[in-house]
Structure 1
Amino acid sequence: MLLTGALYLWFPFVALGWSELPFPGFVLDPNLVVNDSGEAYWAGRQMQPMLSYPERLMAVDGVPIHTNEAFRAWLGKTAVNEKHHFTFAQPQNSRIAPDPALPSERTVEITLVKIDRESMWRQFWLLYLTGIGVLTVGSWTFLVRPRSRPAQLFAAFAAAAAVTVGGLFDLITTQQFIRLWLVAVSLTGTLNMMLALQFPHPIALLGWRPRLRWLALLPGVLVAAWGQLWLHHPTDPWAYVSTWRAAYLLNAVVIIGSLLIMAYRGFRSPAPIVRQQGRIILLGAVLGFGPVLIFLMVAAVAISPPDWFDPTFFIPPFVIYPLSIGYTIVRFGLL
């Protein structure tokens, strides 16, 4: 929780520092691969066809660009209203197939601008404030019941979820915290599953073999390690996408599993208090996780957010889910 809190103190400084750079109208994943996030009026999204994944920035004004750091350094030497030529190419000899709707290579002219406040609100501040909400609920629950195992697991889940949400803007801008984000996004779902197995009442198997709960974390650890190894693959700049898809798919699967466990406890548990607790959490999960779950399932296949996924409407309700868990832990005084 302390590490996550420190990150949240630093996130705004990094984001605001990046926003001072001239903006080319598109954002990039690792290895200069285009990310589809953005507003409809950004230059990259105004092109025909729209600049999009899996295109990769190869050169600026005919000069090759090899890393995201080099591109940001180049932007730091430019000025707003300058026009430059950007060359993009699709995958070749990669694990990721090219998009037949996009040209294999193209060079486009873009006028650099200053990113506007609305874009910063939707792309950074909205996610940042949502993450603060998740982190606040997790910290409050842990402080109220620090000796409770569910509270401890919930605090770990909240910390990972907060980094996952709050780090999304850094993911497509400075990428200072991308390796921490990879760990967080890989572990968020499995930590949630660990909590579901333990809360509101441990499943029978954990009563006999408590250490088995750590097996739920193993898939997340493996995906996190894979993501670290392939983040900057030496021969395939698009290789990281496979690990991200695995993380999204893992989260979708374990979230569905957690929902099924809570549904069973909410309606089939023999203990009335467990049924009540399960229903509260299930309602919070449906309200908070519904749109995010759909996004995860789509992203596991397409990596890019669907057109209907507007963060203004779908991201903030995510806070409802941890709030329902935190309320239940504190209200019913588990363990």
Structure 2
Amino acid sequence: MDAPENELALLKDGLATEIRRASGGELPGSVVVLIRDDRLPMVQFTNSHGVVASKSITYPDLLGALDDSSVVESLSDESTRTTKLPVVPDNTLLVDVNESPAGRSYTVTGYTEPDTYLFCLESNREGYTVTFEVLLPYLVWSIVYEEASRTVSRFSLTLCSPERGYPRMGQLEESEASPAGLSNDEGPQEQEGSEGESSATKRWTPPGPDTPLYRYPASNVYHAYRGALEGVCWPTMDRIQMSLKEVPSKAVRAFLELPNNMDLYGRGFSHNGPQKGYREFLEHLESEGLPEEYLIPTEMTVQGLHDQQRGA
């Protein structure tokens, strides 16, 4: 058709206006505007009883009617949509809302404070389970949470450098009161760093979007799983219902303390330490802690982990 672009826009906007006029604002009705290059526009009204009425109308008349419509004015206003977020976990760093025909989901990335976890190693050959108390530094997790089912559909798990937050063995309880940033007279005894900053301050630096991440050094975290990098292998995870705020306890801690095997564990694959056996490795972590040189970089920052989770 030869109508100017602004007239086409008004015709499209006017469709809702004419529907309301045809139905009297109460009864359902419809309107169709037929436009051809060689004739005047034809408007066909169908009322609630299915009766069709047709009428030719000039462009000036049609556009004039639409120009006077309050509905068109409201449609031309800039729209604003507000999405209410559920309560997010403490120490959440990044959040995205994902809308799809299947429903709403949330991509959330956050961290947990350095803490001690109970690792349970299953021995299929001997038929027993051995437990280890392992102190881990800041963990950074990233999940996709499905609002309708209240479940986690994707779950990535990584570590920060122990230099950012890793109390010496036996000092965790002493420093728990203010883990996010100890003052100079709290926590472990200070030692001056290379740049004049105390080791106590260095030891407690929560991660941010630009913080580099390392591979989870134990087992059952794949380089890629269910479309997510550093993905947790937990086949029954999508059966566990939780609120978004409960993710650190019902997803992160629950996974770490599940009885686990050696899947995806290995020197040069999950860690760079000298230990070959999984039990030997956990015994070392329990007694000596986790040196940074044992960790393998993921080549991602916190922001990168979040972005790949969102786009998976």
Same fold (TM over 0.5): no
What TM-score do the two structures reach when normalised by structure 1? 0.20
Q: Greater Rg, structure 1 or structure 2?
A: 2
Q: Which has the higher helix share?
A: 1
Is the strand fraction higher in 1 or 2? 2
